[in-house]
A and B are shown apart, each in its own frame.
Chain A
Amino acid sequence: MDEVLVIENLTVVYTKNGKRIKAVDRVDLKVNQGDMIGIVGESGSGKSTLAHAVMGLLPSNGFIAEGKIRLLGYEITRLNDDEMRKIRWKEFSMVFQKSMNALSPVHKIGEQMKEAVIVHEPEIGETEVESRMKKVLDMVNLPHRVLKSYPHELSGGMMQRVMIALALINNPKFVIFDEATTALDVVTQGQILDEIKNLVERLSLTGMVITHDIGVVAEICNKIAVMYAGRIVEEGPKEKILYDPLHPYTKALISSHPELAEGGGRMRGIPGNLPDLSKEIKGCVFAERCPHAEKICFDDRPGFVKISGRKVACFKIKEVEE
């Protein structure tokens, strides 16, 4: 089992209006060769920040305060912008959230896709670039004329395919899908999801799927990590998490999904709000909303417990299980 991605004790902080917001709080995560891990959480859980940190694409007001990221043997946290620029998209890549504006509106799509190849292989010939672009377009079922189109001439679904093709163009060893279907209508969402599922199986892709929709993860991934308020609260094989969730937050999350919930999909909301991440949280991040919370949950941070094939961060796991 080769470890493709190892994240150790990662903390990412944003500064906003003079406040320090801990978007990712001491996270540990491993991704092995052939794994497609789903990072699930509500907006504000830090899942997207985690993905951007791995890619070395944090916004200017965000920085890694602590911890290490090792991706494909590269120490991401030690590389500067220029060094990152040389390996990103050559070794690993990402499909971005909002595809409609993800490319320059006044340049042809082919022209922009070409950049991803020639930046990393300056010696490559014109014809080979062309054939490589056509190959990835075939993979995502797009006609070759897309290369000569401008972004506004394509539909949302087509642009999303373009972005997937762009991510695959250099045959990456690690791919992140960041809310790859969120901005689309329901029908297109289903199509793109099938497309991604297909590609992941056919190319046996290794990577991460970032989503708020646990249904998406159920389709594509073999592992799941559930994030809440900057921390991973439960992590393990897909089946375990989906059908036998242990952490109270995971339980709540799954029971609020119409198709996965037991008892005919009666949706249950979780009362309460995300905690204020600009303040230090001593205990468990979910304690305020947790029905099982006791004093210890507010005072100490729970460590991971290995139990029935997955890791859970919860003090009251015995009680919860019963």
Chain B
Amino acid sequence: MKLKEFWKRYFEHPYGVAGFVIFAVLLFMAIFAPLISMGKPNEMSGDILSPPSLKYPFGTDHLGRSVYSRIVYGTRVSLSVGFVAAGLSALIGIFIGAFSGYFGGMVDEVMSKIIDSFLMIPVFFLILIIVAIFGSNLFYIMLVIGLTTWPRNARIMRAQTLSLKERAFVKVAKSLGEGDLRILMTHIIPNGMYPVVANSALQMGGAILAEAALSFLGLGDPNITSWGKMINEARTYMAFAWWTIVFPGIFIILAVVAFSFIADGLQYALYPKLKEVEESG
């Protein structure tokens, strides 16, 4: 499919457009955080737990820090967790899925079984346990999320590979004596990875939620400002300072919703046939 046509279809989808817009705003916040944050995220002022005002758009927390500034900087954390974790997960999934599907046989059999079971286990606990035992810094957290969520991507890629394997251009390449590795890298993976990309958008949202939950449990990186940590710290004071808890939550939701919307838009652009109705003459 041509790329131009793909994006044209993507932007026909209202959710796709909405997702893109929210994402663009969040990305802008992350990149230009120092310019728009109206102060440093850890700067403590004398105004403790003061409600939203012109000076503090989202109010201040129990240490007098601006909730708004902290949220702006938190965007950096959430977006990087989303990108790195989902990217790693996609990378592993694509390679394992493609190899397993392409070579088939016993390896594929065992791989499929492992993938299926992996999809049944509650992965969040696995992440939780690993982070609890190995220690929590942001890099670790991203790594662990990526390492534990690849099976869905692998399953998608495997299905793609199985169908691509039977296509004429792959068979021609094979009969011309191209090596398996070359076929995988130049034909199968570039042509089959799009559904994995759509799924990755969804997984970015998942990774953001997972990081938020870890931080909320006190297992986040202690040296950074993240939305989940803000909610954790605000728990004690929420009864008399609702803004400390409401705003970080809204931003988590916005980020995750944006990625689900984008995933939907990508899905729609990928499979135009799903919407058309066929009729017989």
Contacts and interface: CB of A to CB of B under 8 A. Distances in A.
Contacts of B121: none
20 contacts: A14-B279, A16-B277, A16-B279, A23-B281, A43-B280, A43-B281, A44-B281, A45-B281, A46-B281, A47-B281, A48-B280, A48-B281, A49-B280, A49-B281, A59-B277, A59-B279, A61-B277, A61-B279, A62-B279, A97-B280
Interface string B231-243: 0000000000000
Contacts of A49: 280-281
Contacts of B280: 43, 48-49, 97
A47 B280 CA distance: 9
Interface size grouping (class) on chain A: 10 to 19
Contacts of A62: 279
Nearest to B280: A48
Contacts of A61: 277, 279
Contacts of A23: 281
B129 to A, nearest CB: 42
Nearest to B277: A61
A158 to B, nearest CB: 24
Nearest to B281: A44
A186 B277 CA distance: 29
Given A16-B279, A61-B279, 13 more contacts: A14-B279, A16-B277, A45-B281, A46-B281, A47-B281, A48-B280, A49-B280, A49-B281, A59-B277, A59-B279, A61-B277, A62-B279, A97-B280
A44 B281 CA distance: 4
A55 to B, nearest CB: 14
Interface in A14-40: 14, 16, 23
A265 to B, nearest CB: 27
A13 to B, nearest CB: 12
A48 to B, nearest CB: 5
Contacts of A59: 277, 279
Contacts of A47: 281
Interface string A43-68: 11111110000000001011000000
A45 B281 CA distance: 6
Contacts of A46: 281
A23 B280 CA distance: 10
Contacts of B279: 14, 16, 59, 61-62
B277, B279, B280, B281: residue with the most chain A Cβ atoms closer than 10 Å: B281
A62 B280 CA distance: 11
Interface string A238-266: 00000000000000000000000000000
A59 B277 CA distance: 10
